[in-house]
Amino acid sequence: MAELAGPDAGGLNIGAACADRHVAAGLGHAVALRWLGRHQKRVEFSYRDLSDLSGRVAGALVGLGLKPGETVAVLLDRVPELYISALGIWKAGGIYCPLSGSFGPGPIKARLEMGQAKVLIASEELYGRKLASSRASLGDIRHVLLVGDDGGLVQGHEDCMDFGAVMSEAAPVPPVATTPDSPAFLHFTSGTTGTPKGALHAHRSVLGHLMTGRRVFGLSDADIFWCTADPGWVTSTAYGVIAPLACGATLLVDESDVEPRRWYGILHDEKVTAWYTTPTAIRTMMRFGAALARSYRENSLRVAASVGEPLNAEAVTWGQKALGVPFLDTWWQTETGAIVIANASGQGRRPGSMGQVLPGVEAAVIRCDGGVRKRVDSPDVVGELALGQGWPAMFSHYIGGDDPAPDFRRDGWYFTGDLVKRDADGFFWFVGRADDMIKCGAIQIGPFEVEGTLMDHPAVAEVGVVGKPDLLLREVPVAFASLNPGFEAGDALRTELLSFSRQELGAAMAPREIHFIAELPKTSTGKILRRALKAKALGEPEGTEMLPTLGPCPGRFDDE
C-alpha cells in the first residue's frame, strides 16, 4: 500500500500509481507505452509523457464539469488515446468504463444507460456506426469527445467535441485525492436471467494487479509486456493497462487483431518478454502450422500465459515446442478483478489445470447437499469454486437493476458459479459452469441478452439460446425460435434473422445458427429447459441428460 500511495495519507489513485510515481522515482525517461499501428506506424510514450498527457485529460474532464465518482465511457480500439484516457479518468476521480467495439448499437447503448455515463470518449468511426443515430436518447451523456483518424481533427459531428482540440487547450492537473475504496472502473458481465451486470471496482484493485503482475509474470522495469485483450474486456483494463504500468514495465500495444504471421514477427522484433493472450488466439496460431512457428523460434519470451477459458494441455506443450516457453493457464473473473488461480511463472505448473491459488487468496470447493453448502477438502471431488472475501481487487458491488451480489456472497465467501475439482497437490481443474453462460472464446455471452434482441423481430414468438461446442472458440451461441402466425420457417427467414442479430448485437454476440421449433421445451414453472435445447444442438436424442448443476443452492452454509 505504501509503495503505491500518493502524498495524502491513506490516498490511492490508479492513474498516479501507474505514471506519476515512476516520474517521481526518476524513471520518467523509461518507455511506458509502445504502440504499433496497422500501417507500420510505431510510436513510443515515456512515463513522463503518460504523466503529462493523462494530467491533461484529467484537466479537460474537470473543466467539463466531471465530478468524482461519475462515469466516463470509452469506445476506442487499441489506440494511444485509450490508455491516456484511462489514466486521465482515474486522475480526475472518475469511473473508467470501456466498451467493446465488437458489440452492436443495442448492447453499447444499454451499457451506457446502466452505467449512467456522463462523458463518452469514442473514435469517430465507432461513434458514427454505433451511436450517432441514438445520441438524442442518451440523456445522461453531457459531452461526447471524438478521436479522429490518427488523432486528427473530427468533422461532421456538430454535437460532439474534438478530443485532440480539447486536449491541446487543457492544462495538466494533479490527481484527485481518491481513497482505496473510491470507485475506479466499471465492467459489465452478462447474466443468464437478466440484463448485463456492471461490476464496480475500487482504486485498491491496483494492489492486486501489482502483486499478480510480479508473481504471475515476474514483471519489472526491464520487461516488455504484451496483452492482446479487446479494450472492452476487464483483462485489458487489469493487464493491458494497470498491471504492467504499475510494475514499471514497457506496455506493448498492437492495434491489429489476430494475424499469426504479424504476431510472430512482433514477438521476435519487439523482444517481448511476457505475453498474455487467449486460447482462441493460441489455437489460431497453432492452425498455421509448426513450420511458421519454428521460423520465429528465436525470441525473448520469458513467460507466456493464457486467460478467458480453460487451456488444454496440447496448447501448453505446443508453446514450449514452438516458442520455447509453455503457456501458463490463469483463472479469474470480472468480479475478482485480478488473477486468483494460476500456473505462475517460476512456480509449479500442471498442463491442463487452472493452476494453484495465489498467496493472499483463500479458495475452496463447495458442494450443495440437501440444501446445505459444505466445504469439500477431499481431492478430485467436483463442486463450486468459492473464494474468501478480502482480496483487494474484488469488485465492490454490482450496478444496474437489482444488486444480485447477496446470491453470490454468503458467510464470507464469493461463489463463482464455476464447477471445479482440486487434486491432491492443490491444482484446480475446471469442470463446467453452474449456470448457462456461453463461453465463446474469451467472451462471456448471456443467453438472455441475445434472446431479448431476437424477440424484437416480428417473426419471433419465443426463443432460447444455448452454447454449442466449437473446436476453435469452445462454444458458439445457437438459437432455437418458435414463430408468430403468418411467418414461414425456411432459409430465407433464417438468413434474415441471422443478419438482424448481427446488426443489432455485433458479430461477437450474434448466434451462429438459428433453428426453428414448434414449441420451446420448458420446466413446470415456465422456464426454458436449456438442457433439452443443448441436446438438440448436439443432435442427441430426446431425454439426453447433460452435466448436472452442482452449483449455487439457496440453503445455509456448513463448513464442517
pLDDT in tens, 131-145: 998 888 887 899 999
* Segment 300-321 mean pLDDT: 87
Q: What is the 3-state secondary structure (H, E, C) of 268-316?
A: HHCCCCEEEECHHHHHHHHHCCHHHHHCCCCCCCCEEEECCCCCCHHHH
pLDDT of residue 9: 46
Specify whether the backbone of 476 is left (phi greater than 0), alpha (psi in -120 to 50) or beta. Answer: beta
Yes or no: say if 274 and 225 are a contact pair by the CB < 8 Å rule: yes
Structure confidence at residue 308 as a pLDDT band (50, 70, 90): confident
Residues 6+ apart with CB under 8 A from 104: 130, 502, 503, 504, 505, 506, 509, 510
pLDDT of residue 1: 54
pLDDT of residue 540: 60
Spatial distance between the Cα atoms of 398 and 557, rounded to a whole number of angstroms: 23
pTM of the entire predicted model? 0.84
Looking at 399-408, 466-475, 541-550, which range is the least confident one? 541-550
More confident residue, 445 or 221: 221
Structure confidence at residue 543 as a pLDDT band (50, 70, 90): very low
| 156 burial type by CB count under 10 A (0-12 exposed, 13-18 middle, 19+ buried) | exposed
* Segment 520-546 mean pLDDT: 67
Spatial distance between the Cα atoms of 551 and 435, rounded to a whole number of angstroms: 8
Structure confidence at residue 167 as a pLDDT band (50, 70, 90): very high
pLDDT of residue 519: 87
Percent of the chain with pLDDT over 90: 60
Decide if pLDDT at 206 tops 90.
Answer: yes
Structure confidence at residue 6 as a pLDDT band (50, 70, 90): low
331-346, pLDDT tens digit by residue? 999 999 999 999 986 6
Spatial distance between the Cα atoms of 273 and 302, rounded to a whole number of angstroms: 5
* Segment 203-230 mean pLDDT: 96
What is the set of domains in the chain, with CATH numbers?
Answer: 438-538 (3.30.300.30)
Yes or no: say if 554 and 408 are a contact pair by the CB < 8 Å rule: no
pLDDT of residue 182: 97
pLDDT of residue 524: 44
pLDDT of residue 537: 85
Q: 3-state DSSP helix/strand/coil percent for the chain, to nearest 5?
A: 30, 25, 45
pLDDT of residue 297: 72
Structure confidence at residue 462 as a pLDDT band (50, 70, 90): confident
Q: Indicate the SS3 state at residue 118.
A: strand
pLDDT of residue 302: 94
Looking at 165-169, 191-195, 347-351, 423-427, which range is the least confident one? 191-195
Spatial distance between the Cα atoms of 281 and 304, rounded to a whole number of angstroms: 12
pLDDT of residue 114: 93
Residue 440 is given by DSSP the state: E
Closest of 9, 36, 6 to residue 19, by C-alpha: 6
Amino acid in the structure at residue 374: K
Spatial distance between the Cα atoms of 189 and 334, rounded to a whole number of angstroms: 7
Decide if pLDDT at 525 tops 50.
Answer: no
pLDDT of residue 39: 82
Decide if pLDDT at 549 tops 80.
Answer: no
pLDDT of residue 559: 36
**Residue 128 half-sphere exposure toward CB, CA atoms < 13 A:** 12
CA distances (Å), origin 20, targets 13, 89, 171, 260: 10, 14, 16, 36
Centroid of chain to Cα 545:
32
Decide if pLDDT at 318 tops 90.
Answer: no
Structure confidence at residue 545 as a pLDDT band (50, 70, 90): very low
Centroid of chain to Cα 399:
17
* Segment 115-124 mean pLDDT: 96
**Residue 161 half-sphere exposure toward CB, CA atoms < 13 A:** 18
pLDDT of residue 2: 62
More confident residue, 196 or 305: 305
Structure confidence at residue 552 as a pLDDT band (50, 70, 90): very low
Residue in the structure block whose three cell numbers are 426453428: 516
Structure confidence at residue 386 as a pLDDT band (50, 70, 90): very high
11-27, pLDDT tens digit by residue? 899 999 999 999 999 99
H/E stretch holding 372 reads strand 372-376
Decide if pLDDT at 404 tops 70.
Answer: no
Spatial distance between the Cα atoms of 129 and 132, rounded to a whole number of angstroms: 7
Spatial distance between the Cα atoms of 323 and 315, rounded to a whole number of angstroms: 11
65-98, pLDDT tens digit by residue? 999 999 999 999 999 999 999 999 999 999 999 9
Across the chain, mean pLDDT equals: 87
Strands laid side by side in the 197-202 sheet: 161-162, 143-147, 117-123, 71-75, 95-98, 183-189, 197-202, 397-399
Closest of 282, 287, 358 to residue 313, by C-alpha: 282
Decide if pLDDT at 476 tops 60.
Answer: yes
Yes or no: say if 194 and 451 are a contact pair by the CB < 8 Å rule: no
* Segment 425-453 mean pLDDT: 83
pLDDT of residue 346: 64
Provide the grid cell at 554: 439457496
pLDDT of residue 150: 63
More confident residue, 463 or 151: 463
Decide if pLDDT at 365 tops 80.
Answer: yes
Spatial distance between the Cα atoms of 155 and 75, rounded to a whole number of angstroms: 18
Yes or no: say if 466 and 475 are a contact pair by the CB < 8 Å rule: no
Centroid of chain to Cα 46:
26
